[in-house]
């Protein structure tokens, strides 16, 4: 069974976000070994300097990379990533599994994004939209899209 991990910076603060992710995690058990791993977010001043931002990205990036086993497919969520429709994302996941990847990591950065080092680990880069979403909402949306991808690939009726 393929492993799917959402690796993210920070914790979900509101209970309703946690409940939504828990629901999709429960649904995913039919299709994959699904998990969400959180790494600590760096504290930043209200108006950080560019050096502080770069230092934060570096530290968070190191924490993220430490959680990714070698040989896994890494898909960072980033603005410069490619936008997929749901069937195309489903096909990408299926293609990665067919290519021998047994563990896929989707990576969500903190409020300042992801370090270049994390992005260099990418098999593909993914963008949800040109719009900006709160990281907590993005996590729920990603959970739903991963579940939808497995429904599509399994011929389920969830995706219409």
Question: Distance between CA 146 and CA 106 in Å, rounded?
Answer: 10
- pLDDT tens sequence across 85-98: 999 999 999 999 99
pLDDT value of position 158: 85
Cβ-defined contacts of 151-159 (< 8 Å, 24+): 152/86, 152/87, 152/90, 153/90, 153/93, 153/94, 154/31, 159/86, 159/87
Inform me whether the pLDDT recorded for 42 exceeds 80: yes
Identify the structural domains of the chain with CATH numbers, from first to last: 3-43+54-153 (3.40.1280.10)
Q: Are strands 33-39 and 126-127 parallel, antiparallel or unpaired?
A: unpaired
Contact 127, 89 (CB under 8 A): no
- pLDDT tens sequence across 24-37: 999 999 999 999 99
- pLDDT tens sequence across 59-74: 999 999 999 999 999 9
pLDDT value of position 34: 98
Question: Phi-psi region for residue 100, left (φ > 0), alpha (ψ -120 to 50) or beta?
Answer: left
């Amino acid at each position: 069974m393929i492993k799917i991990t959402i690796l993210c910076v920070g914790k979900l603060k509101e209970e309703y976000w946690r409940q939504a992710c828990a629901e999709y995690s429960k649904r995913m058990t039919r299709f994959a070994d699904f998990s969400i791993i959180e790494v600590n977010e760096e504290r930043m001043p209200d108006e950080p300097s560019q050096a502080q931002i770069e230092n934060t990205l570096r530290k968070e990036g190191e924490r993220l990379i430490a959680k990714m086993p070698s040989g896994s497919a890494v898909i960072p969520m980033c603005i410069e990533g490619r936008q997929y429709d749901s069937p195309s994302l489903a096909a990408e996941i299926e293609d990665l599994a067919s290519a021998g990847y047994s563990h896929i990591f989707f990576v969500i950065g903190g409020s300042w994004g992801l370090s270049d080092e994390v992005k260099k680990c990418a098999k593909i880069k993914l963008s949800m939209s040109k719009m900006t979403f709160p990281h907590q909402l993005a996590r729920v949306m990603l959970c739903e899209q991963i579940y939808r991808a497995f429904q599509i690939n399994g011929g389920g009726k969830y995706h219409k």
